[in-house]
Amino acid sequence: MTARSRKAEGLKGGAGEAGAQLERLMEGAADLVTPEDLLQKLERSLREGRPMRAKLGMDPSAPDVHLGHTVVLRKLRALQDLGHEVDLVVGDFTGRIGDPSGLSETRPQLTEEEVRKNAATYARQVFKVLDAGRTRLLYNADWLGRLTFAEVVDLASRHTVARMLERDDFRERYQAGRPLGVHEFLYPLAQAYDSVHLRTDVELGGTDQTFNLLCGRDIMRTYGLEPQVCLMMPLLEGTDGVRKMSKSIGNYIAVEDSPDEMYGKTMSIPDSLLLKYLELLTDVPRPEIERLRRGMEEGSLNPRDAKMRLARELVTTYHGPDAARRAEGAFVRVFQARELPEDIPVRDLARPAMEAAALLVALELAPSRSEARRLVQQGGVRIDGARVEDPAATVELGHERLVQVGKRRFVRVRGAAG
C-alpha cells in the first residue's frame, strides 16, 4: 500500500456519503492522487448537486475491447452508479501519435484510416459496461486537430524536457541511445490538453498511464484550472498469466468473444490469476471471494470449480445467463465428459486434398500460413482426433474430417471427391 493509500484509509467513512463514495471508488485501485482532493470534489458534488466529470481516453490502436480494458471501464461504471458522468475520449488524434507508455522503442504511427476503422467498433463494445445515458462519447481530433502551431508551442512551453526524462521508459531509451522522437513528448501533452479542454474532475487509467495522468494534473494548473484527480487501476495479466492482456500477444479475452470462447478462455487462465479476475472483472461480493480463497487454500475447493464460477459470471455479464448455462454445458461435455460440442460448423471445400497449414487458413482457424504452421508445431492441431505433426502434410478431404485447433475450436470439413 502506498503512503497515499494509507492516508486514504483514514479518510474513508469519515465524511458521510462522500466518504462512502471514496471508499467504493478506492476498491481495487492501485493508486489515487490525491485522496484528499477526491474527497473535496465528492463533497462539493453532493453539496451543489453537480456530478463530477470523469474521463478515460482510449486510443483505437486495435479494434477489440478486451477484459483488460474493462478494469478501468468498470470503475467508470461505479462512478456512474454513484451519480457522476463520464467523458469517454476516443483518441482518434492521439492514436496517430502513438502512446509511448511502457515501450522500449517508438510505437508505429497509425494512419487516419486505421484509427477511424478501429474507433468505429469502440462504442458498441464499451457500452456493454458503461451506462450510455451518463456517457459522452468524444473524439479528441475535434479539438486537438484545430490547434494552431502557435497553440501547440504554447502547450509545449508548459512542461520541461527534464520532467519528460523523469519518465522511466523515456529515460532508459535516452540513456541507451535508442531513438526517442520529439513527437513522443507531445503525446502526454496532448492527453493533458484533453483534460484542459473538458475541465476534467477525475481521470482514470491503468498504472502504465500514471505519468500521462499526472502530466494532465500539472498542465491543468498552468491554465489556471483546478487539477484533476488521478485514479490508477491495476493492469490485468492475460491468459498466459505473465504479460499484460493484449491482442497483439494473443493472451486476451475480448468482450465480443462468443460465449463458448469466453468461457473456455477463462477456464484456461492460471489458478494464480483467479482471485484477481474475480475482484477486478466481476461483481461477486467480497465475502464470497474470500470464501473461495479460503476454500482453495484449505484444499476443500478445487480451483477448477472456482474458475467455473468466474467463467459463468463473465459470460453472464456479456451474453446473459442463458448463454452462460449453455457455454458451461458445452465445456463440461467437451472437456470433462470428453464429448464433442453440439452444432460444430460444417464447411464445404471444392478440393480433394490440401496441405494442413493451408487447410487451417481456408477454414479460418488461423489468420495466415505462418500462424497455421506455428499452431501445428506447438501440437495444437488435430484431425479426427490425431495430432498433426507436419504443417505441410497432405490432408485427404474425400470424406468428412473433424479439424480441431486448441481445446475449443472445431470445424467439420467436406471436400470434393478425388
Report how far residue 323's alpha carbon sits from residue 337's, in angstroms, rounded to the nearest whole number.
20
So what's the pLDDT on residue 79?
A: 97
- Which one, of 162, 193, 204, 187, lies nearest residue 76 by Cα? 204
The CATH number of whichever domain residue 285 belongs to comes to 1.10.240.10
Q: Which of 216, 233, 250 is the last residue in one of the domains?
A: 233
pLDDT for the residue 48: 94
User: Does residue 63 form part of some domain?
Assistant: yes
Q: In the numeric block, which cell numbers belong to residue 295? A: 476454500
Residue 381 lies in a domain: yes
Residue 133: which of 77, 189, 215, 208 has the closest Cα?
77
The pLDDT value given to residue 352: 84
Q: What is the CATH number of the domain that holds 373?
A: 3.10.290.10
The reply to whether 171 and 313 lie within a common domain is no
**Any domain includes 267:** yes
Task: Please give the torsion angle defined by the CA atoms of residues 324, 325, 327 and 330, in that order, rounded to the nearest 10 degrees.
Answer: 170
Determine, yes or no, domain membership for 17. Answer: no
- The domain spanning residue 170 has which CATH number? 3.40.50.620
Using CB atoms within 10 A of its CB, is residue 161 exposed (0-12), middle (13-18) or buried (19+)? Answer: exposed
> Is residue 93 in some structural domain?
yes
Taking the alpha carbons of 22, 24, 27, 29 in that order, is the dihedral positive or negative?
Answer: negative
Q: Which portions of the chain are predicted below pLDDT 70? A: 1-15, 99-110, 335-338, 385, 398-399, 417-418
Looking at the structure, tell me whether residues 316 and 383 fall in a common domain: no
Residues 373 and 304 placed together within one structural domain of the fold: no
What pLDDT is stored for residue 417 in this prediction? Answer: 60
> Would you state the pLDDT for residue 26?
94
Place of cell 498511464: 209
Please report whether residue 249 resides in a domain. no
pLDDT of res. 341: 76
pLDDT score of 1: 45
pLDDT at position 337 is: 67
What integer pLDDT is reported at residue 4 of this predicted model?
Answer: 52
pLDDT value of residue 10: 47
Q: Whole-model pTM?
A: 0.75
Pair 357, 372: CB distance under 8 Å: yes
Q: What pLDDT, on the 0 to 100 scale, is given for residue 107?
A: 55
Statement to judge: residues 111 and 138 lie in one domain: yes
- Whole-angstrom distance, CA of residue 368 vs CA of residue 361: 6
Note whether 265 and 154 are same-domain residues: no
Q: In the chain, how many domains are there? A: 3
- 272 and 213, same structural domain? no
My answer on whether 269 and 291 are in the same domain is yes
List, in sequence order, every beta strand (DSSP E) within 35-126.
53-58, 85-90
DSSP result, 214-227? HHHHHHHHHTTPPP
Domain containing 154 equals: 51-233
Q: Collapsing DSSP states into helix, strand and coil, what is residue 3?
A: helix
8 Å CB contact between 233 and 372? no
111 and 65 co-located in one domain: yes
78 and 131 in a single domain? The answer is: yes
Q: Say what the pLDDT of residue 101 is.
A: 64
Q: Is residue 391 included in any domain, yes or no?
A: yes
